[in-house]
Chains A and B, each alone.
Chain A
Amino acid sequence: MELGLVHYLILVAILFCIGILGLIISRNIVKILISIEILLNAVNINFAAFANFGDLDEAKGQVFAIFIMAIAAAEIALGLAILIACYNNRHSIDIEDYTSLKS
């Protein structure tokens, strides 16, 4: 059986759902950050797949994926830094303890 675009898309959908689910149900902030990575990677795969199957000449999708990886790295560094700062203040990495958006 040959791998087609559809298979990639199914993989991406599965990964995306896992990411969303992790984002919604996990209480640990580290887990949430990991879920965000999964989401971003799902998107990356999406880009790469489409680029591979539809846009062989210019490979814009691949370039975009590389950009996203860089941004994801920066984002996770920032996120973890904020998390550490929060932890130093409240001694908790449970998302339920951070409800100050309620004003």
Chain B
Amino acid sequence: MEFFINNVWIIPALPLWSFLLILFGRIFNVYENKYISLALTAGSTFIGFISSIFILFYCINNPETSTQYNILWLDTGNLKFSIGWLVDNLAAMMLVVVTSISLLIQIYSHGYMEQDKGYHRFFAYLVLFNFSMLALVLSTNLFQTYIFWELVGVSSYLLIGFWFYKPSAAQAAKKAFIINRIGDCGLLVGTLALLFYSLNWWTSSQNILLEFATLGQAGSLALANAGPVLFGLLALGLLFGPIAKSAQIPLHTWLADAMEGPTPISALIHAATMVAAGVYLIARLYPVFELSPQIMTIMVWVGAITAFIAATIAITQTDIKKCLAYSTCSQLGYMVLAMGVGAYSAGLFHLITHAYFKAMLFLCSGAVIHSLADQQNMKYMGGLRKKIPIVAYTYLIGTLAIAGLFLSGFWSKEAILLSLYIQGKNLLLIIALITAFMTAYYMFRSYFMVFEGEYRGHAHFHKPSKIMTVPLIILAVPSALIGFIFSGSLKSIGIGSFDSFIFYGHALHEAHVSLFLPICSLIIATLGFLLAGIIYWDKLKSLYCNCFKLVEKYFSPLYKLSTNKWYFDDFNNLLIKYLILPISELISIFDKYVIDGFINLCGISTLYKGKAVSLLQNGNIQTYLVTALLSFIAIITVVFLIYII
């Protein structure tokens, strides 16, 4: 067991080597066989998965230990930056989640991308992403995290823009990258400010600079140095990183556009792992955020508003992937909300259950899209349950899980709701419950539209291959069970609850057992299911008459608001057009005429000096002679004068 802990660096290193091998293998045309790329990618991830499992068991057996190893990377006097790896319960859990989901998605991608020209490129990017995410999980300090944070962003950019010849994909990639830059900018400023205000402490205590293990003490010192207002701004900057990466309002707009990438990517990056990096960073920086109550409040409301708004948008989406994207956004809102109210374990629990079922939902949608020849609009689907029953039933499991009907989503969502209930935040509890209702509604809506009723499309149908359905079946198991297993109900056979494994700060309070909340949320989810069924399921459709039309008539402004995604994109465009562009043009004038002017002046003056000197080179020997003579006289005169004086 210690072997795996001590050699944990192998987990991210193998994908990096595979990336280089695939890359150079392609550049030098070493091989054409697609199975070599697949074997490199899946093999590296598989080894990582096995080691992660061992590490997880080690951490379960020794829950109090956290191992870290650091290498001095950059030594500039006072500032000593290190890189290394940190293994604790949280990292071990994340490693298992990332490697297991990546492994299945990589196998699935083989089926999905087999006909694509960029097969090898795709796997190279995939494995690069895997490397950066695993290294991000294992980072010991904030600087290292920042490096891999950026690398995750770059890989995501490459993968979203994988079909770069499609203008929409290229633009989506650009959008995702730029919006992430906004968050990264905040994160960088926050990191540097935190370092600035706590530098003395780091240098005097001989700790690794900005390491997570002692961030709490440094944070309180920074709070004392900077004062609450500045410290709040600092923490807000740090929070901006997770807000952008985890697609929280107002920086959430990239996530839906990112669906332009291949579907396995949507599953891997935009559901299971990359967006989880934001929540993971919040968990890592929790000691800092906790010191500023205002920031916790902001976090709570950002999460709550995101969960609510994204759910309302998802209700009217007709593109199956966009619907799932907004549901991801909404679930991430739940996690941030949980983090904000102090339900640290509940947030991370939801992160893990969500990673499994959302990855599976996306893979199902990918199988559907693949078998309908790239048709993504749910209006042209329907009745697919009879044609692809495996996909339909796994999708149904995912739907039940995310809607909170008994499967894993129920347990994690329940934990979040419970913590809201215990803390007496009734308004937030109501928002969360409404969101849960909408979640159940739109997920069942998508299920009914895709898999039930009559087939409404015209695309030629072909069955997905086995390599695509087997990962779905495997993923269905954790999607269904992981919540129950870690809910604490199995304590008698030795599986502890999730919050006794990963928690923050003080020991746990004994869970408040009450049947009121679970029943309440189950009823709400069932109501969502029924509403979706009434509207979209043919068998129940006969129950309603024309009342739906009536509703449509009265709710059309709300409907428009939802289909237009609350006008966030339009608002952003207006903001850019009328505020940011004029300002940047103003600045560009300064750049053009002052800075560029200065540079050009230097260039031009040198040019003319050169021209003046080049006049002497006319090929006439006598001119050269005169020049030489005069220069000689001048030098002699100068020397002479110096000698005299």
**Are A100's CB and B619's CB within 8 A?**
yes
Judging by beta carbons under 8 Å apart, are B622 and A24 in contact? yes
Identify B617's interface contact among A23, A25, A96, A102, CB under 8 A.
A102
B620 touches A99 (CB 8 A): yes
B618 / chain A contacts, CB cutoff of 8 Å: 99, 102
Residues of B within 8 A of A99 (CB): 618-620
- B-contacting residues, A81-102, CB 8 Å: 95-96, 98-102
Collect the chain A residues with CB atoms within 8 Å of residue B629's CB: 20, 24
A57 to B131, CA, bound (A): 91
Contact B617 A95 (CB under 8 A): no
A39 and B622 CA atoms in complex are apart in Å by: 15
**In the complex, A24 Cα to B628 Cα: how many Å?**
11
CB of A95 within 8 A of CB of B626, answer: no
Residues in B562-621 with C-beta less than 8 Å from chain A: 617-621
Given the complex, which residues of B lie within 8 Å of A95, measured CB to CB?
Answer: 620-622
Give bound CA distance, A101 to B620, whole Å. Answer: 7
Do the beta carbons of B622 and A101 come within 8 Å of each other?
no
In this complex, the interface size class of chain A, counting residues with CB under 8 Å from chain B, is 10 to 19
Q: Given the complex, which residues of B lie within 8 Å of A23, measured CB to CB?
A: 622, 625
Complex Cα distance, B617 from A99, in Å, reads 10
Against B, the Cβ 8 Å flags (1 = close, 0 = not) of A39-57 are 0000000000000000000
Report the separation of the CA atoms of residues A29 and B305 in the bound assembly, to the nearest whole angstrom: 95
User: Which chain B positions have C-beta within 8 A of A25?
Assistant: 622
Complex Cα distance A35/B629, Å?
Answer: 15
Q: Are A102 and B619 touching (Cβ within 8 A)? A: yes
When distances are taken between beta carbons in the complex, the residues of chain B under 8 Å from A100 are 619
Q: Kindly report which residue of chain B lies nearest to residue A27, judged by CB atoms.
A: B622
In the assembled complex, the Cα of A98 lies from the Cα of B619 at a distance in Å of: 8
Q: Distance (Å) between the CB of A12 and the closest chain B CB?
A: 17
Query: When the two chains form their complex, are residues B626 and A96 in contact, meaning their CB atoms are under 8 A apart?
Result: no
Residue of A nearest to B624 (CB): A101
With a cutoff of 8 Å between Cβ atoms, the chain B residues found around residue A96 in the complex are 620
Evaluate contact between B617 and A24: CB separation under 8 angstroms.
Answer: no
CB distance from B619 to the nearest CB of A (A): 3
Shortest distance from the beta carbon of A26 to any chain B beta carbon, whole Å: 9
Tell which of A24, A98, A103 touches B625, judged by Cβ atoms closer than 8 Å: A24
Instruction: Return the CB mask of B617-642 against A: 1 if under 8 Å, else 0.
Output: 11111101110010000000000000
Q: How far is the CA of A95 from the CA of B626 in the complex (A)?
A: 14
Compute how far the CA of A29 lies from the CA of B621 in the bound complex, rounded to whole angstroms: 11
- Can you spell out 19 A-B residue pairs with CB atoms less than 8 angstroms apart? A23-B625, A24-B622, A24-B625, A24-B629, A95-B620, A95-B621, A95-B622, A98-B621, A99-B618, A99-B620, A100-B619, A101-B619, A101-B620, A101-B621, A101-B624, A102-B617, A102-B618, A102-B619, A103-B617
Q: Which A residues have a C-beta under 8 Å from some C-beta of B?
A: 20, 23-25, 95-96, 98-103
12 further A-B contacts with Cβ under 8 Å, apart from A24-B625, A101-B619, A103-B619, are: A23-B622, A25-B622, A95-B622, A96-B620, A98-B619, A99-B618, A99-B619, A99-B620, A101-B620, A102-B617, A102-B619, A103-B617
